[in-house]
Amino acid sequence: MRTLKILGFLLTYPEEAHQNILEEAGLLLRQEKILSDKSIDVLEKMMKIFQKEDLIDLQDEYVSLFDRTPSLSLHLFEHIHGDSRERGQALVDLSNVYAKGGLFISVEETPDYLPLFLEYVSTLPLSEVNENLSSIVNITVAIGERLKNRESSYAYVFEAISEIAASKASPKAIEEALSQATGEAYDFDQLDKEWEEQFAFDNSLPLNGQTDGCPRAEEMLARMKITPEEERS
């Protein structure tokens, strides 16, 4: 599914390549028709902004949002486990799932980095994509709402991710998440303090009958399988 690959690409650190292929990316979104016309319209609006802005400014904005604001982190398990021991095990499990699917991380990111997760999920049948995006929908919606508070066009990407999920986010979970962190910019003292604390996002819709909070990575992705035919697509 190219749509998810494009959404993941839009969430990576801006380089010259982003500005060079955005027009083509918009055409691919139209061709695949996974997203609604409304979602594609706003994503194309975002892409046009990216094409006009200076690359240095785009990079500064990205770092300010995703690297310096913990509640906007693109590392999924940070919103669930913080820096606890449980996160380390979940990362190992997720890395093993990628490896079993014949995919190996070639960038300096942890397995729970959202663009990597979207890259993996993009190889799956649509029904499994929908279900597994549902397992992180509370996180993606909360980040999207925080980005709206920052008046960032990156919010459009998270709205698109949530649209593909089979289930909607829990209003109660989102309200609680936003009460803990609105996504506002931190000064350095706040940033240091925040990283010392651990997130407690009682996140997602359970998979495989699990009911105790966030699914472990292996359980969350247990139904994901790549056939040789899918891998070539």
d(C-alpha 121, C-alpha 117), whole Å: 6
* pLDDT tens digits for range 51-78: 889 999 999 999 999 999 999 999 988 8
Question: Residue 205 is which amino acid?
Answer: L
User: How many C-beta atoms surround the C-beta of residue 143 within 10 A?
Assistant: 29
Res. 195 pLDDT band, cuts 50 70 90: low
- How much is the pLDDT for 73? 93
* Residues 76/82/83/88 CA torsion (nearest 10 deg): -50
State the average pLDDT over residues 108-113. Answer: 82
* pLDDT tens digits for range 215-224: 333 433 333 3
* pLDDT tens digits for range 139-191: 999 999 999 999 999 999 999 999 998 888 889 999 998 998 888 876 666 55
**Percentage of the chain lying above the pLDDT 90 cut:** 39
* Residues 38/42/47/52 CA torsion (nearest 10 deg): 140
Residue among 51, 50, 52 at smallest CA distance from 62: 50
- How much is the pLDDT for 201? 45
- pLDDT higher for 213 or 17? 17
**pTM here?**
0.77
d(C-alpha 220, C-alpha 205), whole Å: 10
d(C-alpha 85, C-alpha 6), whole Å: 32
SS3 label, residue 98: helix
Res. 79 pLDDT band, cuts 50 70 90: confident
Q: What is the DSSP string of the chain?
A: -HHHHHHHHHTSPP-HHHHHHHHHHHHHHHHH--S-HHHHHHHHHHHHHHHHS-HHHHHHHHIIIIIT-GGG-SBTTHHHHTTSHHHHHHHHHHHHHHHHTT----SSS-TTBHHHHHHHHTTS-HHHHHHHHHTTHHHHHHHHHHHHHTT-TTHHHHHHHHHHSSSPPPHHHHHHHHHH-------HHHHHHHHHS---------STT--SSSPPHHHHTTT----HHHHH-
Mean pLDDT, the chain, rounded, equals: 78
- pLDDT higher for 232 or 146? 146
For residues 186 and 83, the answer to whether their CB atoms sit within 8 Å is no
pLDDT at 128 over 50: yes
